[in-house]
Structure 1
């Protein structure tokens, strides 16, 4: 009976080892096979061998040829026994889920660049949750995608996987949609608190505030938060000369990027917006100059929504001095570098084109710079094409025109012509009647009109072949190719 039991054990061991060998997994090596199989066959009776350990193999119940066999060493069992121990389906699924979750965490870290010290990135769609649902599951990169990521030196160029989406132009009404939404009540409360603190600071420590002004006006430098608050407090003074001097100091110090943030946090932008409506032209001019430098900051631009219409009023209405209009155009040009408040510019497009026609050379140049910034936004192009064009546009494409003016003219026309052709824009169809000038007077007709296209093409051909300025030649070629097509 004992002999029969021993023979049965050997048979079981041989079947287990053969299964492991045919599965081809590294967990059962040749050494294990030789130890468990060969030594038992060659053992002689009476010989004493060192104690051997029992080896357990775990496998998923109802395995196939691809099931995993895992070796587990048990020091407590009798020697020389190789036992096949199946793993239940529930246990195996739990183990696979655990490994999948670990792999998920690693991949999401790679996709989102969330390692220690790494800049925070916006997670990819579908990776915000690790929980599976009946409608979807976490999106994980494949090994091929991982190799692409690891081979890249920069995480800033990571893009969504899949085929790129071609942007299709659709007319969008900015006037009905605000790019930034905020809680107006909380903003008003914060501004009121800042104003009260500044006025109290001016009453209590006016002499100290003036000493800060003297220090900053003698040498432009990065200021402290206390100095920024002192400048804002001085803007509440009733002395116009003191306020004007403070504004000049703010404009000079705003050339430092760090000061732009510090002044915003001190409540400077809200006070400058109030001073724009001052009865003193000199204070208005100094305020516009200060805003022009502060506008070169993305954080500051987010708080300029209510300031832009006031600045545009200087362009839309006759002003007591051309300096106000010119510096308002400079500040608006700086604001228009970003598209955040482009929707506010619709009412002045006709007047900007009018300044290109009738303004002084300096005014023409600045109006063209502002129009070029607006034309870089594809959503503004239909309205720019529908606005009333400069009457002398065709005559401004002249090689003898001032080089700076000519460069801006050909740049504006090239940008509008290229975008109109590429996106197939026709403002006579795309825009409602109230948003466009009379058909023969539009910028679109001034470029693509039946009797105008040949003249535009001819003048741009001369410029692209004969002008000495390379930039002008490049832009003229873009006009020629867009109109010719």
Structure 2
């Protein structure tokens, strides 16, 4: 499973009183510049595990989560970054999960390849490390695959981290196989960005494994431009790409190709 964290800018912990004042300030002000700075400071402090617990105990998660409904993109982005660092803590995830639907909506509505969209995808990466909250992301699968087709390499890498996590869960297999992304095989190219290639192959390998493990798969459930048909044995473009990638110089790429071919 893949995780993602926002790097801290500062390298010091904060005491309870200072954190409480920041959270109260966030609640009290309508000034987006002050909100942004408070969120940056909370995000940096959340890079330290001791502060993750303190912020949760001060009800900081709900206050920061409330900033996701803010209409100022920079404030929303900084709130997502703070929640991302806070989500490295399992107990925090139990509280943050109530905001997953809002985060998915933000990813869908944000400008393509924007910092807000990337921040949302980073948080969803952490929240999808376990299968506990995958069901909350089902409706956003078409959006994720659209970003895979239309996004920059940076966006593609980020959304693939989420898709790899989802594809590791057998309960998500049919939802992913039904999705349509005709351009998926184009990612499986010897000249593709290595990080994209490895993750796209891992996504395909996970789905192939779960397809084989699942009994009673009905072909009529899937449209011809679905991922199911892209990955099927009869898909010549997919088979040709895999054969070509067996000669790729990167060991991990070849390992993922072998995973798919031996399913």
Gaps of 5+ in 2: 1-7
Matches within 5 A, 1:289-438: 289-319=81-111, 322-388=114-180, 390-424=181-215, 426=217, 428=219
Q: What does residue 139 of structure 1 align with?
A: none
Output the TM-score relative to the length of structure 2: 0.90
In the alignment, the residues of structure 2 paired with residue 424 and residue 475 of structure 1 have an alpha-carbon distance, to the nearest angstrom, of 24
Show the counterpart of 1:86.
none
* Cα distance in 2, alignment partners of residues 407 and 401 from structure 1: 10
Q: CA RMSD in A?
A: 2.1
2:43 equivalent to 1:251: yes
Corresponding residue for residue 224 of structure 2: 440
Counterpart residue number, 1:165: none
Query: Residue 467 in 1 paired to residue 259 in 2?
Result: no
Matched residues in 2 for 1:231 and 1:381: separation?
Answer: 42
Matches within 5 A, 1:41-190: none
Question: Is the Cα contact below 8 Å between 1:386 and 1:427 reproduced in 2?
Answer: no
Structure with greater contact order relative to length (CA < 8 Å, sep ≥ 6) = 2
Quote how far apart the aligned CAs of 1:395 are. Answer: 2.2
Deviations 1:204-246 (A, max 9, x none): xxxxxxxxxxxxx995323332222122111122332222111
**Residue aligning to 2:4:** none
Equivalent pair of 2:182/2:226 in contact (CA under 8 Å):
no
State the TM-score, normalized to the length of structure 1: 0.50
Aligned to 2:240: 458
Structure 1 residue 457: Cα displacement: 2.7
413-422 or 236-245, which deviates more: 236-245
Deviation of 1:449 (Å): 6.0
**Structure 2 CA distance, aligned partners of 1:309 and 1:294?**
18
SS in 1 for 2:95: coil
Report whether the alignment pairs 1:230 with 2:230. Answer: no
**Bigger CA radius of gyration:** 1
Q: Structure 1 stretches (4+) deviating beyond 3 angstroms? A: 217-220, 318-321
| 8 Å Cα contact 1:319-1:325 kept in structure 2 | yes
Change (3 A) 1:245 1:350: same
- How far did residue 428 of structure 1 move? 4.5
CA distance in structure 2 between the aligned counterparts of 1:349 and 1:219, rounded to whole angstroms: 35
The separation in 1 between residues aligned to 2:177 and 2:33, in whole angstroms, is 45
- Give runs of aligned pairs for residues 17-32 of structure 1, distance below 5 A: none
Indicate conservation of the 8 Å contact 1:231/1:246, yes or no. Answer: yes
Q: For 2:216 and 2:14, how far apart are their aligned partners in 1?
A: 49
1:163-214 deviation digits (Å, cap 9, x = unpaired)? xxxxxxxxxxxxxxxxxxxxxxxxxxxxxxxxxxxxxxxxxxxxxxxxxxxx
Give the paired residue count: 255
Which whole-Å CA distance do the structure 2 matches of 1:415 and 1:229 have between them? 44
User: Deviation digits for residues 263-320 of structure 1, max 9, x if unmatched?
Assistant: 1111111011211111222111111111111111100110123210111002223548
The structure with the greater share of residues assigned to helix is 2
Q: Distance in 2 between matches of 1:312 and 1:218?
A: 26
